[in-house]
């Protein structure tokens, strides 16, 4: 037995799920107590360590999320929007810290987390890395300093398995740029141009998406004006950075009250 806080990983078989399990297992601050997969998945009923091709861990993969959550203090969730909303209700019932790294969530999805946040600590971010969250803050400040003579384009690249575009990180950066300019992103957003689109509208924030190979994550924020360009860039070469950030967020949330938080809270980067 251990007194360390217990962690459940949802979506255990996925790339991030397996990285999270590895990160939690190697940590001396928490312990793995559960791994969740969808009903019918061939990992259900198997030891998660053996399912990952390694030694037995003593943790059996289950499709009963509520039972798993009841044994834990933390749930780390990098799955899909519909699954995350269902997990949020169960995490609220169990009163556990719910760390959400799921991407592709709409404004409506995010709003739907609000009832759960009245009962549980939710830390949600489109990207859990320290570097990206610093980039978000820099983007907001540069956008605030430059006028609309500078076009803003967020350019992101990911592996060919990624199913959502723009990425959650790209949207974080677009929101930061819009906030810096004092506008709503929804009013100035341009996505995936194709065909005869006409000239770019002044003040708009564009998104360009690349999918290929095994790219972990690359994000550029381009500020382009006649005669000069500024490029802010973050390159991720190992998805372990996201797992480490999620674990940092989980541990941070253990002594926090119910509510909705993000990585800027965790890292102390919120504007005063």
C-alpha to C-alpha distance for 91 and 165, rounded to whole angstroms: 27
C-alpha to C-alpha distance for 63 and 41, rounded to whole angstroms: 8
Cα angle 31, 72, 90; round to 5: 145
CA distances from 232 to 203, 207, 266 (A): 18, 14, 23
Q: Which of 22, 41, 159, 162 is catalytic?
A: 162
Q: Where are the strands (E) in the chain, listed by range?
A: 6-10, 31-36, 61-62, 74-77, 97-100, 121-124, 151-158, 189-191, 205-211, 217-225, 228-236, 259-261
- Taking the CA atoms of the chain, what radius of gyration do you get in angstroms? 20
- Angle formed by the axes of helices 168-181 and 130-145, nearest 10°: 30
Q: What are the beta bridge partners of residue 219?
A: 156, 234
Known catalytic membership, residue 162: yes
C-alpha to C-alpha distance for 258 and 114, rounded to whole angstroms: 10
Known catalytic membership, residue 256: no
Q: Which of 158, 219, 234, 248 is catalytic?
A: 158
The pair of three-digit structure tokens given for residue 106, joined into one six-digit string: 């709409």
On whether the CB atoms of residues 47 and 32 are closer than 8 A, the answer is no
Cα angle 26, 128, 35; round to 5: 45
- Provide the annotated active-site residues: 158, 162
């Amino acid at each position: 037995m251990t007194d360390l806080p217990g962690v459940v990983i949802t979506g255990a078989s996925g790339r991030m799920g397996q990285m999270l399990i590895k990160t939690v297992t190697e940590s001396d601050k928490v312990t793995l107590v559960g791994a969740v997969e969808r009903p019918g998945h061939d990992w259900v009923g198997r030891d998660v360590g053996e399912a990952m091709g390694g030694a037995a861990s003593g943790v059996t993969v289950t499709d009963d999320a509520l039972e798993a959550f009841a044994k834990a203090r933390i749930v780390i969730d990098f799955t899909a929007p519909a699954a995350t909303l269902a997990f949020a209700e169960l995490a609220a019932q169990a009163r556990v810290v719910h760390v959400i790294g799921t991407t592709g969530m709409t404004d409506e999805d995010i709003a739907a987390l609000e009832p759960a946040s009245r009962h549980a600590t939710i830390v949600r971010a489109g990207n859990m890395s320290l570097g990206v969250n610093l980039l978000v803050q820099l983007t907001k400040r540069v956008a605030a300093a430059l006028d609309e003579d500078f076009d803003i384009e967020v350019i992101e690249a990911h592996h060919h398995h990624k199913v959502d575009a723009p990425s959650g990180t790209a949207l974080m950066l677009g929101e930061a740029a819009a906030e810096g300019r004092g506008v709503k992103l929804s009013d100035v957003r341009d996505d995936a141009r194709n065909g005869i689109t006409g000239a770019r509208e002044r003040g708009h924030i564009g998104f360009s998406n690349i999918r290929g190979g095994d790219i972990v994550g690359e994000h550029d924020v381009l500020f382009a004006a006649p005669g000069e360009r500024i490029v802010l860039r973050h390159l991720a070469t190992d998805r372990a950075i996201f797992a480490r950030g999620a674990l940092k967020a989980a541990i941070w949330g253990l002594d926090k009250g119910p509510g909705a938080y993000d990585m800027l809270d965790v890292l102390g980067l919120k504007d005063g």
